[in-house]
Amino acid sequence: MSYQSVANRKQHWTVGWVRSTSLTPVLPTPAPSRADWIGAWIRAGGKITIKKGPRDRLRIGGEAIYPADESVDNGVIHATAAPANGNLQFAGDGSAPFNQASADAGDCLVRMQRLADLLVAQDNERCGGAMVTFTGFYRRKQRRR
């Protein structure tokens, strides 16, 4: 198991086993509304922005980086998709279906879910350069007043 804490300010992945007694169950947000998705979501090394789109769809944009020894690898997502069954998922720019054929074609596949006050994202590791991933826990960036 590997994870990056939502509280981390720098990219630091923890790899290893976690005792099940250390975990707390979190239930998915039941049927999140469009407004529940909208916002700027951040984690160390990544940002996802979700805005209103046409009709029932949302516009998703994101950037992720992975600092390598002598360079920085990056990835970008731009898609329009409609939430369904508590998930927001898309292949490529959202015009291709989210399925195995899209994965076989080399498309970036991303699935998102709202859990409590977090946005949880998972990708198929084809959304950028080496070691770049959007997979992780994101917290909503607070607006400055």
pLDDT of res. 88: 95
* Backbone conformation region of residue 60, classed left if phi is above 0, alpha if psi is from -120 to 50, else beta: beta
Give me the DSSP letters along 4-51. Answer: --TT-SS---EES---GGG----PBPSS--HHHH-EEEEETTEEEEEE
Which tens digit of pLDDT belongs to each residue from 61-84?
999 998 877 888 899 999 999 999
Give pLDDT tens digits for 1-28: 566 666 767 666 667 787 889 888 877 6
pLDDT at 81: 96
- Give the integer Cα–Cα distance in Å for 119 and 110: 12
Average pLDDT over residues 83-108: 88
